[in-house]
Amino acid sequence: MVEPASLGSSCEGQWRQQIISRMDFSGTIGVLLAICFVCLLYLSSRKKKNWSNLPPGPIPLPILGNMLQVEVKELIKSLRKLSETYGPIYTFYLGSRPCVVLSGYQVLKEALIEKAEEFSGRGDFPAVQMWSNGNGIVYGTGERWRQLRRFAISTLKNFGMGKRSMEERVKEEAQFLVSEFRKTEGKPFDPTFFLSCAGSNIICTLVFGERFEYTDEKFLTLLNLINSNWKLMSSTWGQLLFTFPKIMRHVPGPHRQIYKNYLQLAAFVGERLKMNKETLDPNNPRDFIDCFLIKVQQEKNNPNTHFNDETMSKTTVNLFFAGTETVSSTLRYGLLILLRHPEIEEKLHEEIDRVVGPHRSPCMEDRSRMPYMDAVLHEIQRYADIVPMGVPHTVTRDIKFRGYTLPKDINIIPLLCTAQADPTQFKNPGCFDPSHFLDENGRFKKNDAFMAFSAVSLPCREASLPGREPGHHGALHLPHHHPPALHPPVTGGAC
């Protein structure tokens, strides 16, 4: 072998050049080999996990998956766009995790309604899972989830139909809300804060047995925690946590606040559990927590029970969290939409004046005689589309679906927004048009493509929860409160 020191300076230059290019070459080979190795690992894991007959989708990169093919900030929009190329069912790699994306009413119906049991597993949602450890409803799984969910639905239903019915609670809260609005004396104001308080108070009366004043410091802290978590989950940091949970858990950043906020919410619920335990009268349950305490007592000799302090705390936080921002956002959208559509507001007033009149508050019985109000409420929920992606699901066993093999535990992303905007089900999907829920005789008409409530979210729907009630806030304040100062320029048409 020739030693470099024995060479002349020009040869030395050549030699260096050769070495450098050899190094470049071997470096390139190394990188290529590493990529091949990762690809092989990836392909063998596909085989092992039975990912070989998944629906086709965009070609993923190792580790990054399809994340370079979408805008992280606009994930839903990007997923919808991809469905234009790959159809109603395709595979999308969130990092190294394959997810089957379902888009459009037909495929969502086949999965979430016709094969509800098979698609009922909970998919990865690290922001919530980090904290809940599978112990609540929203991120529980298997038998525990089934039992907690069944218990929550029946308990909330009982409270809705109990002595002090849900209707009374909603009416009472609506009065508080209206009186806050009245204090503004017709001047422009931002109703967001009051709507959050009112929406949350409905669920508070069910879960904690009481409503809170809109000035209560503790209540306001809780609302801030919930609001902050919704924002963080929808932020780029939240999306990164969703995509790369294993890595992002260890990366510092604002997304870690999500976990801390949950702990604070749980601490508040913990205080309430303690208070309820000390004052519990098993013959006279006051709220959801009392009912849960009684259930824990009843099951204390069952070694396999799913009812304990841990599941009680997580389930209560779930209900409080899921029931707060959803309702207030819907109310806020409702107001905004009506401000943009004075002609629709006018028709609502006409119906309210005719059916309810000026001397009393509306009640549930009025609903069947107010088809226009019913249709507007449904259309607000469809158009506002506040939970566009639902929550990630999984399949509970290996299944054949539309000719593909979906292995147990594969993540499913149901794009609920695509059902609610499906042109085969709604004649003007991009427009706010109450006639989507009216028949030719002006009677209220259901539409199964209204996914948020028709297919999946049983606790929201069947427990007669406030998700169904924004109209009653609306109907209560509409006859008395016209805020002309807030009307934006009339846009014309219904879009």
- Does position 138 bind ligand HEM by CB under 6 A? yes
Give the DSSP letter string of 360-419. Answer: S---GGGGGG-HHHHHHHHHHHHHH-SSTT---EE-SS-EEETTEEE-TT-EEEEEHHHH
By beta-carbon proximity to ligand HEM, the closer residue of 238 and 390 is 390
- When asked if residue 458 is in the footprint of ligand HEM (CB under 6 A), the reply is yes
In one letter, which amino acid is 338? L
d(CA 425, CA 440): 16
The nearest distance, CB 387 to ligand HEM, in angstroms, is 4
In 3D, which of 322, 329, 339 has the Cα closest to residue 192?
329
List the interface residues with ligand HEM, window 139-158 (CB under 6 A). 149
Whether the CB-CB separation of 232 and 254 falls below 8 Å is answered with yes
Asked whether position 467 contacts ligand HEM by CB under 6 A, the answer is yes
Shortest distance in whole angstroms from residue 59 CB to ligand HEM: 28
Question: Which phi and psi angles does 141 have, rounded to 5°?
Answer: -140, 170
Rounded to the nearest 10 degrees, how much is the dihedral formed by the CA atoms of 151, 152, 154, 157?
Answer: 170
434 near ligand HEM, rule: CB under 6 A: no
Give least dist CB 357 to ligand HEM, A.
28
- Using CB under 6 A, pick the residue from 317, 452, 475, 478 that binds ligand HEM: 452
How distant is the alpha carbon of residue 81 from its chain centre?
A: 20
Of 382 and 477, which has the nearer Cβ to ligand HEM?
382
Q: What is the 3-state secondary structure (H, E, C) of 18-86?
A: HHHHHHHHHHHHHHHHHHHHHHHHHHHHHHHCCCCCCCCCCCCECCCECHHHCCHHHHHHHHHHHHHHH
Q: H/E element holding 320?
A: helix 309-340
**Would you say 319 or 356 has its CB closer to ligand HEM?**
319
Query: Residue 438's beta-bridge partner residues?
Result: 444
Beta bridge partners, 61, equal 65
Count CB-CB contacts under 10 A for residue 31: 10
Chain-centroid distance, C-alpha 155? 22
Residue tagged 């108070």 (tokens): 201
Residue among 135, 147, 326, 418 that touches ligand HEM (CB under 6 A): 326
Among 322, 348, 417, 438, binds ligand HEM (CB under 6 A): 322
Which listed residue (55, 60, 88, 466) binds ligand HEM by CB under 6 A? Answer: 466
Pick the closer one to ligand HEM by CB: 61 or 415. Answer: 415
Name the segment binding ligand HEM (CB under 6 A); options: 225-233, 272-280, 321-329, 350-358: 321-329
Closer of 122 and 477 to ligand HEM (Cβ):
122
Question: What residues contact 275, with CB distance under 8 A and at least 6 apart?
Answer: none
* CA torsion, ordered 337, 341, 343, 347, to nearest 10 deg: 0
Q: Provide Rg for the chain, Cα atoms.
A: 27
* 104/459 with CB nearer ligand HEM: 459
- Tell me if 456 contacts ligand HEM by CB under 6 A: yes
User: Of these, 291, 319, 376, 478, which contacts ligand HEM (CB under 6 A)?
Assistant: 319
Map the footprint of ligand HEM across residues 376-395, applying CB under 6 A. 381, 386-387, 390-391
For residue 289, state whether it binds ligand HEM (rule: CB under 6 A).
no
| Closer Cβ to ligand HEM, 75 or 203, answer by number | 203
Considering only 54, 258, 460, 475, the residue that binds ligand HEM (CB under 6 A) is 460
We find the least distance from the C-beta atom of residue 174 to ligand HEM, in angstroms, to be: 16
Q: Does 102 bind ligand HEM (CB under 6 A)?
A: no
Q: The tokens of 386 are what?
A: 């506040």
When the beta carbons of 96 and 328 are compared against ligand HEM, the nearer one is: 328
Q: Decide whether 64 or 458 has the Cβ nearer to ligand HEM.
A: 458
When asked if residue 61 is in the footprint of ligand HEM (CB under 6 A), the reply is no
Contact between 276 and ligand HEM per CB under 6 A: no
Burial group, residue 439, by CB count within 10 angstroms (0-12, 13-18, 19+): exposed
| Cβ pair 111, 412 in contact under 8 A | yes
By beta-carbon distance, which residue lies closest to ligand HEM? 323
CB of 128 to ligand HEM, least distance (A): 11
The string of DSSP codes covering 323-342 is HHHHHHHHHHHHHHHHHH-H
Pick the piece of the chain touching ligand HEM (CB under 6 A) from 87-95, 322-330, 417-425, 478-486: 322-330
Contact between 104 and ligand HEM per CB under 6 A: no
> Does 316 participate in binding ligand HEM (rule CB under 6 A)?
no
Q: Which is nearer to ligand HEM, 205 or 330 (CB)?
A: 330
Q: Are 182 and 315 in contact (CB under 8 A)?
A: no
Cα of first residue to Cα of last residue in the chain, in angstroms, is 81
Q: Does 331 bind ligand HEM (CB under 6 A)?
A: no
Per CB under 6 A, 76 contacts ligand HEM: no
Rule CB under 6 A: which residues touch ligand HEM? 137-138, 149, 203, 318-319, 322-323, 326-327, 330, 381, 386-387, 390-391, 416, 452, 456-460, 465-467
